[in-house]
Amino acid sequence: MDTKILTEKEIQEAAAVIKEGGLVAFPTETVYGLGADALNEKAVAKVYEAKGRPSDNPMIVHIARASDIGQLTPRLSPDIVTLIENFWPGPLTLVVKRKEGVPDRTTGGLDTVGVRMPDSPIALELINWAGCPIAAPSANLSGKPSPTRFEDVVEDLDGKVDAIIKGPDCRVGIESTVLDVSGDTPTILRPGIITPENIEAAIGKKVAVDPALYVKRPENGSGGEEFKPKSPGMKYRHYAPKADMTVIEGNREQVKAEIQRLKALNERLGNKVGVILFEEKAFIEAAHNFFAQLRDLDRQNVDLILAGALSDTDGVGFAVMNRMLKSAGYNIVRV
């Protein structure tokens, strides 16, 4: 398939592709998404095919006006209304009860649907012109690091999708926070830059966090007694660079020293070693750069990546750590 590269000025052309049931990769403020008409079952099936994504992993449906959530869910609780007012447009996905018209293909067969209004003019314009909600998982091949730059999308999807919109690098750099508001207690299913604390401040009640997010060593990255995440996507091997990767966790100075020690030893064996070490407490910057650094190190063909763990138990750093541990296949060294 020939993939068209479109500019921000050609959004109407991209929207026409979506309307006809085709696939368009586009920038959002979190990561690039691979979009299809969320209500067109055949179009959504093509997204799974292009990405090689397991079919039980539901898609997030993107809308351009908050009120369009009414096409997807029957009712809005006071909490949902407050969350929409506080965080949309922005990197918060709300998992809500789905309306019947939303295809099984889009929700992975669940009776809920994940919805978000992105904070990106290009994404909003695309959805508006397409005139339908757009289902869009990250625009990477399943299992690879999420794409935060146009060139990352081209690397994975050129020849597999109808069009890619060339936009700016993504501002946030990690995927949205996923919050389940379909039951009694709002529950974080995937951490992101909107933290439990931010959400609690908005709705004035305690937010739960899916306990599976705290499990650091699920057996083979799936299964395992304690590791039963409520969000289907969280159980798959994810974000994996080509290189082997180890996360070093512990006191900052000792982490730095251990990275130097492991680097020197491995280089002596003839390995090319890459290091990911963010400034202490620079969590927003870490979120912005993490996936891009993984992809850059893969392009440099490193054999081994050594990454310093971030110290944060539930904020933005925790959201980055969730990705970092998965990238490393839960290969952790404690010092």
Task: Using CB under 5 A, list all residues that contact Mg ion.
Answer: 138
Residue number of the CB atom closest to ligand AMP: 233
Instruction: Please report whether residue 153 would count as binding ligand AMP according to CB under 6 A.
Output: no
Name which of 128, 136, 126 is nearest 165 in CA terms: 126
State the residue for tokens 């891009």: 292
In degrees, to the nearest 5, what angle opens at C-alpha 30 toward C-alphas 170 and 83?
A: 140
DSSP 68-88: GGGGT-S---HHHHHHHHHH-
Instruction: Please report whether residue 114 would count as binding ligand AMP according to CB under 6 A.
Output: yes
State the residue for tokens 């965080």: 87
Supply 255's token pair.
Answer: 């982490």
Of 107, 148, 187, 322, the residue at the interface with ligand AMP (CB under 6 A) is: 107
Q: Which is nearer to ligand AMP, 59 or 132 (CB)?
A: 59
CB of 221 to ligand AMP, least distance (A): 14
Q: With contact defined as beta carbons under 8 Å apart, do 285 and 251 qualify?
A: no
The interface with ligand AMP within residues 234-253 (CB under 6 A) comprises 234
Q: With contact defined as beta carbons under 8 Å apart, do 198 and 184 qualify?
A: no
Name which of 15, 232, 14 is nearest 137 in CA terms: 232
CB of 268 to ligand AMP, least distance (A): 39
Q: How many CA atoms lie within 13 A of 3 on its CB side?
A: 20
CB of 110 to ligand AMP, least distance (A): 5
Q: For residue 9, count CB atoms less than 10 angstroms from its CB and return exposed for 0-12, middle for 13-18, buried for 19 or more.
A: exposed
Q: Which is nearer to ligand AMP, 167 or 274 (CB)?
A: 167
Options 110-118, 191-199, 243-251, 268-276: segment touching ligand AMP (CB under 6 A): 110-118
Instruction: Please report whether residue 35 would count as binding ligand AMP according to CB under 6 A.
Output: no
What is the separation of C-alpha 271 from the centre of its chain, rounded to a whole number of angstroms?
31
CB of 257 to ligand AMP, least distance (A): 36
Supply 244's token pair.
Answer: 């082997």
Instruction: Please report whether residue 317 would count as binding ligand AMP according to CB under 6 A.
Output: no
| Partner from ligand AMP, Mg ion, none binding residue 51, C-beta < 5-8 Å depending on class | none
Instruction: Please report whether residue 231 would count as binding ligand AMP according to CB under 6 A.
Output: yes
| Partner from ligand AMP, Mg ion, none binding residue 195, C-beta < 5-8 Å depending on class | none
Interface residues with ligand AMP (CB under 6 A) are 57-60, 95, 107, 110, 112-114, 137-138, 175, 178, 189-190, 231-234
